[in-house]
Amino acid sequence: MDAAIIFGTGIYLIKGFNGVEKTIETPYGPALVNIGTYEGFELAFLARHGLDHTTPPHKINYRANIKALQILGVKHVLATNAVGSITRVIPPMGLGLLTDFLDFTSGREFTFFDGGNSGLAHTNMDVTYCPVLRKKILDLAPEFDLKIHPEAVYVATNGPRFETPAEIRMYAQLGGDVVGMTGIPEVVLARELGMHYAAVAYSINWAAGLEQEMSFVGDQMADIKQRLTMLLVNTLKAQLDETCGCEQAVMMMHEPVRIS
Ligand code: HPA
């Protein structure tokens, strides 16, 4: 199975998906993955927070999730991230294609290469999200009546609290466009395993301090989320014949020791 989708807050199913939920055992713990087909196309998906949304951002086992997808043979991963809007260009209900990130998370297991037996590697983040997947998403978006802002810098915070207005002013000055709690280390781990990974952020609120009070529009986005899901499935189904450097992103300094 080559393709997978990782859903964030607010999306828990693919209409028309035929499959079963399976526990995949990994060296980092178990991961719950839905494995099946969409119109005959083999596909896996997982809900980052769990299908019942009980896992907070800082407790998600990102390594188990990405490793489980690798064990299944997945090479292309698309993700959704619910975010708050910092830029006025991607307002609530708007979509942004992630092109870069600022990482303010802490205390998370953020690498497969932790030295010793796990090996040592440096991962090139020059092109952060797969350019071929990104282009395909933008090309297909009009077919699903979706407007996606083509460039967005994702600010990753640790959560589970929201940001303060001063923090959001700082992130704005640093060039952040949207803010969320789950994008990191997911993309980094996927790149460490040489996967092609891209993510679409959908905004459910203005970030703290930008409006009188924070209000959330996630519940009004059912139709957009459904079309976004179909866009992602069809992006993965499409022929991706251009090349990119994702498989070579890892510069291995010391190979992991495989213990069988
Ligand atoms: N901040 C952080 N994470 C979020 C937000 C936000 O405003 N909205 C949705 N996820």
What is the per-residue pLDDT across 6-57, written as a single tens digit (0 to 9) for each? 999 888 889 999 999 999 999 999 999 999 999 999 999 999 988 788 899 9
Instruction: Determine the residue of 7, 83, 104 to mutate for testing ligand 1's pocket, defined as the one with the most ligand atoms within 8 A of the Cβ atom.
Output: 83
Q: Ligand 1 centre from 239 Cα, in Å?
A: 34
- Residue of 161, 205, 213 with the most ligand 1 atoms within 8 Å of its CB, for mutation: 205
Mean pLDDT, residues 77-81 taken together:
98
**CA 196, CA 51: separation in Å to the nearest integer?**
24
| CA 160 to ligand 1 centroid distance, Å | 9
Prior bond of 160 cis (ω within 30°) = yes
Does this model's pTM top 0.75? My answer is: yes
Closest by Cα among 236, 229, 167, 170 to 197: 236
Residue owning tokens 């303060």: 164
Bridge partners, 102 (sequence order): 155
Confidence of residue 259 (pLDDT cuts 50, 70, 90): low
Contact of 48 with 6, CB cutoff 8 Å: yes
Ligand 1 centroid distance, CA of 67 (Å): 26
Known binding-site residues for phosphate equal 9, 48-49, 182
Cβ atoms of 121 and 113 closer than 8 Å:
yes
SS3 for 43?
A: strand
**What is the average per-residue pLDDT within 70-81?**
98
What number of CA atoms fall less than 13 Å from residue 14's CA on the CB side?
A: 31
The per-residue pLDDT for range 92-113, each reduced to its tens digit, is 999 999 999 999 999 999 999 9
CATH of 79-254, one of 3.30.1380.20, 3.40.50.1580, 3.30.350.10, 1.10.8.60: 3.40.50.1580
Domain range annotation of the chain: 79-254
Q: Which atom of ligand 1 is found nearest the CA of 57?
A: 3
Q: Which residues line ligand 1 (CB under 6 A)?
A: 82-84, 157, 162-163, 179-181, 204-205, 207
Nearest CA to ligand 1 atom 5: 84
